[in-house]
């Protein structure tokens, strides 16, 4: 479980393709404090640490994850938003995030608005009923508030701090992003489904 508050901006430093794909990701985390088997959110995808060294950790990714997220497009040098899993004693600064990607969106526009940037994203049609104005959404692991929504796009504002400490600082139009809907929305919708 995560909060959507990014605590490190890492990057892909090596990719090893075999049965699964192994990503080696650089980090400023103290890797001595990361246990093998720990979960780390990598641009919104919950991944398991299988190997580590000074300033890096590695994770194995299945073909399913590669096909359902943006990880299949990663290459050496791709920046990665990182968040370690939530400890019960920590402040919940964003919202509850599982690290399970619900769909892939696309940045359709980026407009400066004051010191902030207004990002618009298209999203898969099957997520429409889960996205609400002033509701929470996770984009590449970042907890954000939906400011506007149409039939197939939603808009968020990215403040300068978020721009500086996440991949949004280098994002461009047509970039693909991992989307996770709010957990509460998912379960409310499930409860309201007719049998």
Q: Flag whether pLDDT at 27 surpasses 70.
A: yes
Q: What is the pLDDT of residue 185?
A: 73
Q: What average pLDDT is seen over the chain?
A: 93
The third-level CATH classification (topology) of the domain covering 8-84 is Elongation Factor Tu (Ef-tu); domain 3 (2.40.30)
Instruction: Indicate the pLDDT class of residue 67, thresholds 50, 70 and 90.
Output: very high
Q: Containing H/E element for 119?
A: strand 116-122
Environment class of 56 (CB within 10 Å of its CB; exposed 0-12, middle 13-18, buried 19+): middle
DSSP string, 4-28: S---EEEEEEEEEESSSEEEEEE-S
Q: Flag whether pLDDT at 92 surpasses 90.
A: no
Helix ranges restricted to H, the chain? 63-68, 160-165, 183-192
Q: Flag whether pLDDT at 179 surpasses 90.
A: yes
> What percent of the chain has pLDDT above 90?
81
The candidate with the shortest Cα–Cα distance to 151, out of 125, 181, 120, is 125
Pairing mode, if any, of strands 153-158 and 56-61?
unpaired
Whether domain 103-192 has CATH 2.40.30.20: the reply is yes
The candidate with the shortest Cα–Cα distance to 44, out of 189, 176, 186, 185, is 176
Whether residue 106 contacts residue 176, with contact meaning beta carbons closer than 8 Å, is answered with yes
The b/e string for 80-116 (b: 16+ C-beta within 10 A; e otherwise) is bbbbbebeeeeeeebbbbbbbbbbbbebeeeeeeeeb
pTM of the prediction?
Answer: 0.92
Q: Return all residues near 87 (Cβ < 8 A) that are at least 6 apart.
A: none
For residue range 117-167, list pLDDT tens digits in order: 999 999 999 999 899 999 999 999 999 999 999 989 999 999 999 999 999
At 164 the three-state DSSP class reads helix
Domains of the chain: which residue ranges?
A: 8-84, 103-192
Give yes or no on whether 8-84 and 103-192 have one common fold: yes
Q: What is the pLDDT of residue 193?
A: 73
Residue 123 CA from chain centroid, whole number: 14
């Amino acid at each position: 479980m995560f909060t959507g508050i990014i605590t490190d901006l890492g990057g892909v430093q090596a990719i090893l393709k075999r049965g699964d794909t192994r990503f080696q990701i650089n980090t400023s985390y103290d890797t001595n404090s990361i246990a093998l088997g720990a979960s780390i959110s990598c641009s919104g995808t919950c991944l398991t640490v299988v190997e580590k060294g000074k300033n890096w950790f590695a994770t194995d990714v299945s073909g399913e994850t590669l096909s359902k997220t943006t990880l299949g497009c990663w290459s050496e040098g791709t920046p990665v938003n990182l968040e370690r899993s939530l400890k019960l004693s920590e402040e919940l600064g964003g919202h509850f995030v599982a690290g399970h990607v619900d769909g892939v969106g696309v940045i359709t526009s980026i407009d400066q608005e004051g010191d902030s940037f207004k990002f618009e994203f298209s999203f898969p049609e099957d997520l429409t009923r889960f996205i609400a104005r002033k509701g929470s959404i996770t984009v590449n692991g970042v907890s954000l508030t939906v400011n506007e929504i149409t039939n197939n796009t939603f808009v968020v504002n990215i403040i300068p701090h978020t721009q500086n400490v996440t991949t949004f600082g280098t994002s461009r139009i047509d970039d693909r992003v991992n989307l996770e809907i709010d957990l509460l929305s998912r379960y409310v919708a499930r409860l309201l489904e007719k049998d």
